[in-house]
Amino acid sequence: MKKILIIVVSMFACGSLFSQGIEFKHGTFNEALAKAKKENKLLFMDCYTSWCGPCKYLSETIFSQKEVGDFFNKNFVSFKMDMEKGEGIELCKKYQVKSFPTLLFIDAKGSVVHKLVGGMPGEELIKGAQAALNPNLRIGTLREKFEGGNREYEFLLTYLTAVKRQYDKVNIPLVSKALIENYSLEKFLTKDLFYVISGANINYVSKEYRYLVQNKDVLINKVGAKECDAVLRKAIRTHLFQFAEECFSLTDLKKEIEKCKKDKVYLNIEDLERDLSYTYCFAHGQLKKWFDLKLQEAANLKGSPNYVYVMHNIGDEVVRNPKFKGSEESINRALKIGHELADNDDGVIMGNFLLAKLYLKVGNKEKAQKHYDLFIEINGEAGGNNTHPSVAKVKNAIDLL
């Protein structure tokens, strides 16, 4: 009898344990939306993919928390959807989901009233969801007020928090700059508010940048060296990459790099100079020089595990980058890389995958299929992931050729 009692108690304990967290409804999107409408609640939709790490983090670590579950189960009808399967494919297009995880709050009409993007702690998730429940804090309302000219300090901070939760790369700098322009740079030179300056994309040739450089020691004491350098480094890198696209020679580019070095900001200069050279080559149509520089970089890695990946990426750049359109010489050089990799035990998997993409690009379906099949066979035997979206994309494109 005692054993039976223990088992029964254990069952109730387990039931209680597994009932914690967000209760996601099964069925179709329309069924979930109808349920939300019937209960006069917003529909909370977790837009995820099978390969997304932050999606798994939310699902396994955050959504399962009692506090999160209590809040969401009380206020929302919750629904999960894989954006690459079934009706998720169309929903992904309809709601313009660009990154994962994306968390949508949808009203009874099927319109998104609020959105969060990315993995986050439970406390942050609840705060974002609370904003969805308050019409005055929803992203659309805040955007209308901002576009209508509202520049009140507390409002701008609230709006900045909202766009940051969405990883909105367009509006984060706009709102951050509005704060600086209306309330001065000095106001945000504190550890708690420095995120405003970090989000403003400070221009290298601006008075704000000069002020930060000239007061760097004071700034480091207030916010830390890492945070300070990150802002200055971003300004320098943005300036140099733009300069690389517009300058007339690599000599001019080198001079500009030397000028930027004088500000004594850590730039990882060797990698930066290399990447700037590549940008210069693309901007000025020097594809042969780009190829030569990339092959030289790869040659320095020969014998290391990274060699195969660097070589594959050279060829893959030819596949993806529209700058190479019409360049038969570049295609032939990339094909040579692919065959050299495929003929080597270490590179046979990546080599065949590259060749499949290259022959697909030139419209040779037979050879594209041949190398794709070889890739699938060998990669599968090696325990590789043949279901990754990048693999499926190549397969679908070959089928349509």
Told to judge if 47 belongs to the known catalytic residues of this protein, a careful annotator would answer: no
- Residue 198 clears pLDDT 90, i.e. is over it: yes
Q: Are 269 and 261 in contact (CB under 8 A)?
A: yes
Q: Decide if pLDDT at 15 tops 90.
A: no
List the domain range (segments joined by +) for residue 361. 298-400
Structure confidence at residue 305 (pLDDT): 85
Q: For residue 4, what pLDDT is reported?
A: 42
Q: What are the DSSP calls for 342-389, one per residue? A: HTSTTTHHHHHHHHHHHHHHTT-HHHHHHHHHHHHHHHHHTT--TTSH
Average pLDDT value for residue range 219-241 = 95
357 has pLDDT over 60? yes
* Domain identity same for 303 and 389: yes
pLDDT in tens, 123-175: 999 999 999 999 999 999 999 999 999 999 999 999 999 999 999 999 999 99
Among the listed residues 47, 52, 247, 281, the single catalytic one is 52
Instruction: Report the mean per-residue pLDDT for the chain.
Output: 93
- Same-domain status, 310 and 390: yes
Residue 219 within a domain = yes
Residue 92 designated active-site = no
Task: Specify whether the CB–CB gap between 81 and 139 falls below 8 A.
Answer: no
Statement to judge: residues 303 and 346 lie in one domain: yes
Residue 71 clears pLDDT 50, i.e. is over it: yes
* 233 and 203 together in one domain: yes
Does residue 15 form part of some domain?
no
Question: What integer pLDDT is reported at residue 266 of this predicted model?
Answer: 86
What is the pLDDT at residue 8? 39
**In a domain? residue 315:** yes
Cα 368 from Cα 397, distance rounded (Å): 10
Residue 117: beta bridge partners?
102
Domain count, the chain: 4
The three-class DSSP label of residue 80 is strand
Domain membership flag for residue 11: no
Catalytic residue of the set 14, 47, 55, 260: 55
The answer to whether residues 107 and 113 touch, using CB atoms and an 8 Å cutoff, is: yes
